[in-house]
Amino acid sequence: MEEFLRILTQSAGEILAPTTAAFAIAAIGLNLHFGYTGLLNMGQAGFMLLGAYGFGITLTLGGPIWLAFLIAIAAGVVFALLLGMPTLQLRGDYLAIVTISAAEIVRWFGRSTLWQEWTGGASGLQGRYYKDPFHALSFLPEGRFALGPFEYINTGSDSWFTRIFAWGLVALVLIFVWLITRSPWGRVLKGIREDEDAVRALGKSVYSYKLQALVLGGAIGALAGVVYAIPLAISPDSMGGRTMTFFVWTVLLLGGAATVFGPVLGSMIFFTAYMFMRTGMRALSEDTAVGNVISTTQVEYIGGMLVGITLMCLVIFRPQGILGNKKELAFNVR
Amino acid sequence: MSVDETTTARSTSLADVAHEPGAAKPDPILVADHVVRRFGGMTAVDVDHLEVQEGVITALIGPNGAGKTTFFNLLTGFDTPNTGEWTFQGRSLSGKSGAAVAKAGVVRTFQLTKALGRLTVLQNMLLASRDNPGENLWLSWLPFLWKKHEADSTEKAMEILARFKLDTKANDYAGSLSGGQRKLLEMARALMTDPTMIMLDEPMAGVNPALVQSLLGHVQALRDEGMTVLFVEHDMHAVRHISDWVVVMAEGRIVAEGPPSSVMKDEAVVDAYLGAHHDTDLGDDSLLDPAVLARYEAEEEER
């Protein structure tokens, strides 16, 4: 029972974890792409990795922290422009192919020895190079603080300050996206999602709107990369990989595409369930006869497989996610 | 001016126009020259010259594969021709994007209706409103800048919807409408842009007969308000009923022009639709004669 409580607490801790916030932000950006505009961006991890590099490298070279954030955002913007300008004229599926390969290119450049001096090559950038300027921003006193069963240090990697910052950023991005998508601008995006030719025939420059959505969502993705990297480290393989992209997709589709709070709720539920599943399986494997069938080392892989199965089931059985409007999706005539 | 007088004025405006392909009109609003579109080795459209008279309903008819929709797509910037130029109100529109053509005042509808299913009927209408400041990203998050425009457009949208008897459906998703209602919505949405000219691609296709009458009425009403209408249609009854002028296309070319009453009798039109030998009796024994067959074949070659 005590063991079970420990697993529950550890899982519930994920609700406010910085990683959860990072994925919520990434999914909000992807929501702007896919949920509102219908752009199939399969390379959100590429945006995240670029943002993290921009942030980490600027601070490592001794730049001020505001510049580091600006460069992270600029990296996302430039990447979106590079991807969008040649491909947005084409039909939807091409963007998916281009973005997934572009994200891979970013990852391979990151892990190559070409710019090892700055990127740290395959082993990446250690957090100690860039964390100090961030922790210097903290307004919290020294020491630790416990809220119920959740106890963290005030300022540090896995700290209250990181959580406050991450979720504050989630709130800001959420308000921004809510404001722009409920406007006539957001309505044009939804029109493009439904049928871009119809919108073009009404005199709107579809290409320009798609590019705006791609750039905004990409810049938000880059910020998500920064939030993800702050408590951890920047490693191209764990951050820029396809797994990362598919996690973001799962988070978005779980919460509900084209909804305001869907990405946030999706991220909280996803990481809580993911943690519960892995710690639960590990405990079972260590303490019970299940260990004869599933060894503790296999738990991670099984966890990954179950995420894939969840994504498939979501798309097939509940494409509108948890918060999505069933009525809105019922008329998906195609 | 009463409706009767405008009708008279309209028929007289075209009274002196020659009944021939590429005929010059007194007030052409749209003039196209040498428009050619090839798909591989096939020439889909090859229009030497076409003038569309302002303020009347012009029908574009022709058998399947005549190139009517392709010609439509070229004129509205949804396809690029191999050669050709065209002007609207004296300004060149060739090579312009679909959005630019719409901004110039030529708005089109589609053969396969493009109602935006996951937007409500009202949102469909508001989307079409012109120069909405809220559609600019930089202004979009400041509602006080676009609330007024939005309110005005909503009022206008509801008026137009009422005309098309869709006002009760304003808050339903467009995807829940029937096929005919979607056609109506598409036409209503086109009107929201205050077009000078409206181009309808098969507005009656897939619409039940009861709704056809009201659709025809709506098209005529557009003309009576001063809009120029060009429409592609297969339904000959509809064409005869409402059009002031008919342009016939076959195999990519314009083969005949004229008022609906006489153009259907034009030999080129009959040939285009039914083939040149439609009245040849296939039971005729003379067809068994190789010499007669050879003559028909030679005639066919020449055509």
Residue A153, SS3?
strand
Chain A residues with CB inside 8 Å of B111's CB?
A: none
Q: Are the beta carbons of A331 and B116 separated by less than 8 Å?
A: no
**Structure-token pair, residue B233:** 């249609």
pLDDT digits (tens, 9 = 90+) for B50-71: 999 999 999 998 888 888 899 9
Q: Is some CB atom of chain B closer than 8 A to the CB atom of A217?
A: no
Q: Which of A180, A190, A331 faces B137 most closely, judged by CB atoms?
A: A180
Q: What is the per-residue pLDDT for A133? A: 82
Q: Are the beta carbons of B99 and A203 separated by less than 8 Å?
A: yes
pLDDT digits (tens, 9 = 90+) for A202-257: 999 999 999 999 999 999 999 999 999 888 878 887 777 788 898 999 999 988 88
Section A55-64 average pLDDT: 88
Q: What is the per-residue pLDDT for B2? A: 45
Q: Is some CB atom of chain A closer than 8 A to the CB atom of B137?
A: yes
For residues A24 and A251, the answer to whether their CB atoms sit within 8 Å is: yes
Domain borders along chain B are 3-115+194-265, 119-176
**Structure-token pair, residue B62:** 């022709």
Alpha carbon distance B211, B91 (integer Å):
37
Alpha carbon distance A242, A275 (integer Å):
20
Chain B residues 65-104 within an 8 A CB cutoff of chain A: 76, 78, 97-100, 102-103
Q: Please report the DSSP string for B195-243 in residue order.
A: -SEEEEESTTTT--HHHHHHHHHHHHHHHHTT-EEEEE-S-HHHHHHH-
The CA distances from residue A118 to A72, A105, A134, B132, B228, in Å, are: 15, 17, 19, 46, 64
For the beta carbon of residue B173, count every other beta carbon within 10 angstroms: 22
Chain A residues with CB inside 8 Å of B195's CB?
A: none
A329 — pLDDT class (breaks 50, 70, 90) = low
Q: How many CB pairs under 8 A join A and B?
A: 111
Q: Å from B84 to nearest chain A CA?
A: 21
One-letter amino acid for residue B224 of the chain: D
β pairing state of B28-39 and B83-88: antiparallel
The closest of B107, B268, B143 to A199, measured between CA atoms, is B107
Where would I find the beta strands (DSSP E) of B14-143? 28-39, 42-53, 57-61, 83-88, 91-92, 106-108
- Top mean-pLDDT range of A20-34, A80-94, A117-131, A268-282: A20-34
Q: What is the DSSP letter of A32?
A: I
Q: Are the beta carbons of B119 and A329 separated by less than 8 Å?
A: no
For residues A331 and B176, the answer to whether their CB atoms sit within 8 Å is: yes
Alpha carbon distance A192, A291 (integer Å):
52
ipTM at complex level:
0.82
Higher pLDDT, A206 or A119: A206
B3 — pLDDT class (breaks 50, 70, 90) = very low
Q: Is some CB atom of chain B closer than 8 A to the CB atom of A332?
A: yes
Q: Å from A205 to nearest chain B CA?
A: 6
Alpha carbon distance B191, B193 (integer Å):
5
Q: Please report the DSSP string for A69-135 in residue order.
A: HHHHHHHHHHHHHHHHHHHTTS-HHHHHHHHHHHHHHHHHHHHSSTTHHHH-GGG-B-GGGTHHHHH
Q: Å from A268 to nearest chain B CA?
A: 27
% chain B with pLDDT above 70: 89
Site from A77, A175, A187, A199 to mutate, B interface, most B CB atoms within 10 angstroms: A187
Q: Which domains does chain A have, with CATH numbers?
A: 2-330 (1.10.3470)
Chain A residues 166-195 within an 8 A CB cutoff of chain B: 176, 179-180, 183-188, 190-191, 193-195
Alpha carbon distance A48, A245 (integer Å):
9
B227 — pLDDT class (breaks 50, 70, 90) = very high
CATH of domain B3-115+194-265: 3.40.50.300
pLDDT at B277 over 70: no
Alpha carbon distance A36, A187 (integer Å):
9
Q: What is the per-residue pLDDT for B1? A: 41
Chain B residues with CB inside 8 Å of A194's CB?
A: 116-119
pLDDT digits (tens, 9 = 90+) for B148-159: 999 999 999 999
